[in-house]
């Protein structure tokens, strides 16, 4: 990719220089800007971008000027800011490339502008991925911003891009993060559960058979049922309240079952799933089925590893 | 860019079973069930009225056989008040340990002893069981599970015959009354 950009830059920088000389609105500062850029003096090039606009205001309507501005800021973002997620240069670079596209009536720079924008879009995606990969419950809001920036930009350069696969992973991991937020403080972070369920369901809307989401959603529902009794119900609660809370818990236990049973169908030898189903039946006080699944679990555990 | 794409690739491959199911899942569920039962028993104690002779001194709740329930009751209700009486929880592991209480709970595993238990306690002990039905247990209150829900049956006739008055809350919320 690195070499690709260098070749791309060589072409895009050298061709229009000759054109610049032939133009009536010759701008010597622009030549200096190119020189600074080529010598990798990115901060100086940045300053010359402003000088060019000051001395040659017509350049603000030139696709090539913005194209060069885009690459200058892209390199500032890469080499000076060290690809920092908070680098302002990245945004400026994107805006410059977009501006270049706007003025590029003959599509002279379209391919290279789009390639650079695609690279920049991927940097947002990677920033989001880094946070989500660690299931970082502190910086997760940045991941949401980065992911949305990635999608917004990608849509501009590739309107028909299929985000399904990435949206699936994103929503699944966000579901986990919200779940962890809730688990960190069940009393005060109750609202995160709704966000978690929404994200898991979004993932299932994309792929209704997504194993991990079905698993985590099933377990989440079961745990919510237990939490209703263990955390939300006071030991001296009125009987009326006890009955209401019990109904709520049963609702959660019942909701857990279809998800776990579905993945049990996909992978009948997965011991964790069998144990999960057994736990749900225990909570539902269906001891016959609880014992049935515990027997299945025992058989699975007794199987030699080669049969699993 | 190469490194970044590697990260992106990893992201798309996140396949983490984040909430591992273990026996802890069932344990938590068991704890919840015990807590629920404890709350019911405490409510029975609050909503049944004993004869005057039983309204002084400490209020004893006995548990026959279920150590988890005993711990739950002991941790949550010891020294709480029923009227002016402080709650004390007793645990009986063997039949011959059983002594008079205000309320005695006999767990499912010990239900085979219910006949002998009845003979060992006074008539004013509110006998709470968890059997198939109230009639066969011979108790005054019986826990049953109906469609996954923990419910209770009340033998009002027998209770009143033994000078125990069942409060309206219990008669209103009982699954069945005889």
Domain ranges, ordered by start, for chain B: 23-177
pLDDT value of residue A13: 53
pLDDT value of residue B12: 45
Given CB atoms, is B14 within the 8 Å cutoff of chain A? Answer: yes
Distance in angstroms (rounded) separating the CA atoms of residues B65 and B106: 7
* pLDDT surpasses 50 at A2: no
User: Closest Cα of chain B to A272: distance in Å?
Assistant: 6
Distance in angstroms (rounded) separating the CA atoms of residues A51 and B168: 88
Cβ atoms within 10 Å of A230's Cβ, excluding its own: 17
Query: For B23-177, which CATH class?
Result: alpha beta
Q: How confident is the model at residue A307 (pLDDT cuts 50, 70, 90)?
A: low
pLDDT in tens, A138-197: 889 999 999 999 999 999 999 999 999 999 999 999 999 999 999 998 888 889 999 999
Higher pLDDT, A306 or B49: B49
Mean pLDDT of chain B: 87
Which residue among A229, A242, A272 places its CB closest to the CB of B17?
A272
When pLDDT is averaged across residues A268-289 and rounded to a whole number, the result is 94
- Touching B: A residues 200-239, CB under 8 Å: 212, 215-216, 219-220, 222-223, 225-226, 229-230, 233, 235-239
Q: Are B123 and B140 in contact (CB under 8 A)?
A: no
pLDDT value of residue B106: 96
Given CB atoms, is B56 within the 8 Å cutoff of chain A? Answer: no
pLDDT in tens, B52-109: 989 999 999 999 999 999 999 999 999 999 999 999 999 999 999 999 899 999 999 9
* pLDDT surpasses 70 at B14: no
Which residue among A133, A135, A246 places its CB closest to the CB of B10?
A133
> Which range, B24-28, B85-89, B134-138, is most confident?
B85-89
Across A28-32, A103-107, A109-113, B84-88, least confident range:
A28-32
pLDDT value of residue B15: 40
Q: Are A210 and A168 in contact (CB under 8 A)?
A: yes
Asked if B8 lies within 8 A of A250 by C-beta distance, the reply is no
pLDDT value of residue A7: 43
* pLDDT surpasses 70 at A294: yes
Residues of B in contact with A254 (CB under 8 A): 148
pLDDT value of residue A24: 53
Beta strands in chain B (DSSP E): 48-49, 59-64, 81-82, 85-92, 103-106, 126-129, 141-146, 149-154, 165-166, 176-177
Q: Are B11 and A132 in contact (CB under 8 A)?
A: yes
What are the distances in angstroms from CA A238 to CA B15, B30, B43, B69, B165? 44, 21, 7, 19, 19
User: Closest Cα of chain A to B93: distance in Å?
Assistant: 24
Q: The pTM is what?
A: 0.84
pLDDT value of residue B74: 97
For residue B117, report the phi and psi dihedrals to the nearest 5 degrees. Answer: -60, -45
Residue closest to A216 by CA, chosen among A185, A183, A188, A187 = A183
Asked if B25 lies within 8 A of A276 by C-beta distance, the reply is yes
* pLDDT surpasses 60 at B118: yes
- Which domains are assigned to chain A? 1-161 (1.25.40)
Q: In what order do the strands lie in the sheet with B149-154?
A: B81-82, B85-92, B59-64, B103-106, B126-129, B141-146, B149-154, B176-177
* pLDDT surpasses 60 at A73: yes
Residues of B in contact with A128 (CB under 8 A): 11
Provide the 3-class DSSP secondary structure of residue A229: helix
First vs last Cα of chain A: how many Å apart?
Answer: 43
pLDDT value of residue B41: 97
* pLDDT surpasses 80 at A286: yes
């Amino acid at each position: 990719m690195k070499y690709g950009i260098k070749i791309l830059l060589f072409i895009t920088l050298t061709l229009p220089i000759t054109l610049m000389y032939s133009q009536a609105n010759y701008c010597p500062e622009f030549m200096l800007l190119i020189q600074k850029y080529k010598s990798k003096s990115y901060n100086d090039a940045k300053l010359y971008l402003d000088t060019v606009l000051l001395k040659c205001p017509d350049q603000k309507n030139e696709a090539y000027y913005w194209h060069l501005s885009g690459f200058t800021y892209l390199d500032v973002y890469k080499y000076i800011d060290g690809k920092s997620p908070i680098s302002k240069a990245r945004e400026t670079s994107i805006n410059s490339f977009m501006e270049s596209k706007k003025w590029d009536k003959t599509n002279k720079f379209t391919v290279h502008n789009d390639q650079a924008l695609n690279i920049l879009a991927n940097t947002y995606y990677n920033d989001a991925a880094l946070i989500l990969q660690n299931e970082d419950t502190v910086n997760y809001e940045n991941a949401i911003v980065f992911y949305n920036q990635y999608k917004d930009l990608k849509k501009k350069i590739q309107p028909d891009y299929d985000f399904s696969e990435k949206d699936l992973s994103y929503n699944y991991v966000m579901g986990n993060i919200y779940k962890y937020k809730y688990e960190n403080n069940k009393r005060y972070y109750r609202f995160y559960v709704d966000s978690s369920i929404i994200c898991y369901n979004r993932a299932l809307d994309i792929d209704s058979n997504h194993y991990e989401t079905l698993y985590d959603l099933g377990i989440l529902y079961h745990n919510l049922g237990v939490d209703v009794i263990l955390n939300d119900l006071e030991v001296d609660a009125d009987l009326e309240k006890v009955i209401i809370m019990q109904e709520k818990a049963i609702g959660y236990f019942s909701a857990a079952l279809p998800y776990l049973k579905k993945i049990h169908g996909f992978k009948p030898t997965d011991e964790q799933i069998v144990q999960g189903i057994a736990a749900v039946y225990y909570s539902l006080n269906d001891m016959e089925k609880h014992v049935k699944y515990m027997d299945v679990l025992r058989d699975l555990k007794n199987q030699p590893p080669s049969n699993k | 860019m190469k490194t970044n794409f590697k990260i992106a690739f990893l992201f798309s491959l996140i396949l983490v079973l984040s909430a591992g199911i273990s026996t802890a899942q069932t344990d938590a569920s068991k704890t919840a069930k015990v807590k629920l039962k404890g709350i019911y028993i405490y409510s029975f104690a609050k909503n049944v009225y004993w004869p005057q002779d039983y309204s002084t001194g400490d209020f004893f709740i006995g548990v026959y056989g279920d150590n988890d329930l005993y711990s739950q009751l002991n941790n949550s209700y010891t020294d709480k008040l029923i009227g002016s009486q402080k709650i004390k929880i007793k645990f009986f592991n063997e039949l011959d340990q059983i002594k008079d209480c205000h309320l005695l709970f006999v767990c499912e595993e010990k239900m085979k002893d219910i006949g002998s238990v009845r003979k060992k306690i006074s008539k004013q002990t509110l006998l709470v069981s968890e059997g198939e039905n109230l009639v066969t247990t011979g108790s005054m209150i019986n826990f049953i599970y109906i469609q996954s829900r923990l419910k209770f049956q009340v033998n009002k006739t027998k209770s009143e015959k033994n000078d125990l008055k069942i409060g309206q809350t219990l008669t209103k919320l009982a699954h069945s009354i005889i």
